[in-house]
Chains A and B, each alone.
Chain A
Amino acid sequence: QQQVRQSPQSLTVWEGETAILNCSYEDSTFNYFPWYQQFPGEGPALLISIRSVSDKKEDGRFTIFFNKREKKLSLHITDSQPGDSATYFCAASEAGGYKVVFGSGTRLLVSP
């Protein structure tokens, strides 16, 4: 059973456009949602995260929008750059829980 779903599987945008990566979850006990960025040959790196008490989290060009009622969130990357080309993982966890559930990832390609 896949508890965290991501779409699309892959996404191509032009440099300067806004990339939108989607994520949904099933377990209502999840209350913390980190996004990880992974470049080829490297391990994932924590990019930005949001807690369920918030509906928006911004960090530079990266913004998470969170809809608790629909159990959905999205990562918006504005002014996309070729250097943003990577695989992005949405993850979910609950407070105090050891386990983190990762989505299957979205491969983003930013074309110059």
Chain B
Amino acid sequence: ETAVFQTPNYHVTQVGNEVSFNCKQTLGHDTMYWYKQDSKKLLKIMFSYNNKQLIVNETVPRRFSPQSSDKAHLNLRIKSVEPEDSAVYLCASSPLGYYAEQFFGPGTRLTVL
């Protein structure tokens, strides 16, 4: 099956903890993204990687850090989570040169207590 896979589906944690989310795509795409979707469904781009290299780094707090081992994997680590980090984190990928044709994973819902 070719798609974008994310783990975990849900994560509940306390303020100040560290969390990591994983994303893998089996579509053979070169570009991957992390988005944050808030409770109002607003989509905000956080990071974009092209073949393991960071190409877009929007203004996000320094406690967020992406990690890419190869072009099929893009993980997201959040050090010392805060309540405003509660959201759905969506991973996406796109073919080279077709950056607006993105394929999204199902998302990881983070709740910070």
Contact = CB atoms under 8 A, between A and B. Distances in A.
Given A42-B106, A43-B90, A44-B104, A99 B41 contact: no
Interface string B90-113: 101000010111111111000000
Contacts of B27: none
Interface residues of A, number: 25
A98 B48 contact: yes
Contacts of A93: 99-100
A100 B99 contact: yes
Contact of A46 (B41, B50, B99, B102): B102
B113 to A, nearest CB: 21
Contacts of B104: 36, 43-45
Max count, chain A CB within 10 A of own CB: residue among B41, B42, B105: B41
B43 interface: yes
B11 to A, nearest CB: 15
Nearest to B97: A96
B102 A100 contact: yes
Contact of A102 (B43, B48, B97): B43
Interface residues of B, number: 23
A32 B104 CA distance: 18
Contacts of A102: 43
A99 B103 CA distance: 15
Contacts of B92: 43
B19 interface: no
Contact of A105 (B42, B50, B107): B42
A45 B92 CA distance: 10
Interface in A1-54: 32, 34, 36, 38, 41-46, 49
Nearest to A32: B100
Contacts of A45: 103-104
A112 interface: no
Interface of A: 32, 34, 36, 38, 41-46, 49, 87, 89, 91-93, 96-100, 102, 104-105, 107
User: Which 10 interchain pairs have the tightest Cβ spacing?
Assistant: A43-B104, A93-B100, A102-B43, A100-B100, A105-B41, A44-B104, A43-B90, A34-B100, A32-B100, A98-B99
